[in-house]
Amino acid sequence: MRNYNTAGIIDLTCESDHDCEAFRSATVNSTCVEEHCRCTDLQRDNNATECKPLVNRVSNQIGGQCPCQVANSFCHEQTHRCVCKDGFLPSRVEKKCVHKSVPLGGECEESGQCFHQDHFAECDRTEQVCQCQEHFVIYEGSCHSIIAVANLSKPCESNEECANGTVGDALCHSGQCICGTGFVADSTNSSCLAVAELEQPCTDSNQCIATLGVGSICYQQRCVCDSNHFQFPVHASDATSGQQKIRNVCERKIVHGDSCNDDQNCYQFHVGPHEQTMECFMNACVCLPGHIEKDNVCFKASSSVNVTPASVLLAIIGTLSVLKHLLFAY
C-alpha cells in the first residue's frame, strides 16, 4: 500500500534513501525509514517536517517511481522514473502520455498538440479534438482562410466569384470563398495575402504564422519570431519538387517547469552552450545551482555584498561628520 502526504498527491513510498532525493534541499534532509520517506529540517535541530518535493508533481505515474504502467512510457535508466517515449508528452494531469503532434480531427488536450500539424488549428475544449480556428475551414487536409467577398451575397458556385485578382489566391469550396494554397486572409478576412518566410515583407501576422508557426509576428513589415520564441532551422520537403530543404520556424523557448526526460530536453538553443541555466530534475526543467527562477525564467544569482563591521562603523562615522557639519553651518 502506498503512503501519501496530507495533500494526498505526493508518493512517499521508498525502498532506499535514493528514492527520497526529490524531497532534499539546502534546508531539508530526507531518508527512507520503514519504506517511507521521512523529512527533517536541518535549520531546526533535525525536527520532523512535511516532505515537499522540489518539483511538485500532480501525479505519481508520469515522473513517479518505476515500474511504469502507463502506455507509451518507460523507466529512465538513470533517474529510475517513469517518462514518456519520444513523440509523447505528459498529459495535463500527468496520468498518461499523449501525442506531441495531433492531426485535424485527432484527440487532444492542448492546442500545442494541434499546432504541430497545422499552424491554424486548435484544440476544441468541449470535444477535445483538433479543429481549424475560427474563420478557417478544412480543405484538402489543412486549414484554409474563409474570406467574405464584396458584392457576393449568396454561397459561391465557382472560383471566379471568389477571385481577388491573383490567379489561385482564392477558390470556392462548399459554397464558401477560401484562400488557396500559399495564401492566407488579411486581418479583415476580405482578401488573400501571400504567405511569407522569415524576414520577408508582410502586412499581417497570419502571413508569418502560415510558414513560421504561432510564435511569429509581422513586426515593422517583416516576419520575425516574438520574444517567447526563437528562429530554428528544420528539414522540410518542397511542395512542388518534393526535394528536401531547410526552412526556419519559430520554436518556443524552454522555460522553468517544462517537462523533460533528460538535460538535453532543457537545452536552450537560443543562447550559447556556456549560457545554459537549466537542467532536468524529476522530469521537469529546473534552474541550475547558482541560478534563481523569476517568471519561469532562470537567472544567474547575483553574489551578495559582504558587509563587515568595519564598513558599518565607517559609514556611521561618515554620517555623524555630515550631521556635525550641517549643525555648525546653522
Contact (CB, 8 A) for 115 and 101: no
Query: Does the N-terminal peptide bond of residue 90 adopt cis geometry, omega within 30 degrees of 0?
Result: no
At 125-134, the pLDDT tens digits run 899 999 999 9
pTM of the model: 0.69
Q: pLDDT value at position 208?
A: 97
Q: Is the pLDDT of residue 314 over 60?
A: no
- 254 is written with which cell numbers? 524552454
Beta bridge partners of 173: 176
Strand-pairing partners, residue 274, are none
Could you tell me how far CA 84 lies from the centroid of its own chain? 16
Cα separation of 25 and 83, whole Å? 23
* Predicted local distance difference test score (pLDDT) of residue 211: 94
Q: Which residues contact 123 (CB under 8 A, 6 or more apart)?
A: 102, 108, 109, 110, 111, 113, 114, 129, 130, 131
Any idea which residue has 539546502 for its cell? 26
What per-residue confidence (pLDDT) applies to 51? 85
71-75, 126-130, 280-284, 292-296: range with lowest mean pLDDT: 280-284
Q: Per-domain residue ranges for the chain?
A: 9-55, 136-194
pLDDT of 102 above 80: yes
Mean per-residue pLDDT, 156-164: 85
- Tens of pLDDT along 31-53? 999 888 899 999 888 889 988 77
- Percent of the chain past pLDDT 70, that is, above it, reads 82
Task: Band the pLDDT of 310: cuts 50, 70, 90.
Answer: very low
Share of the chain above pLDDT 90, in %: 45
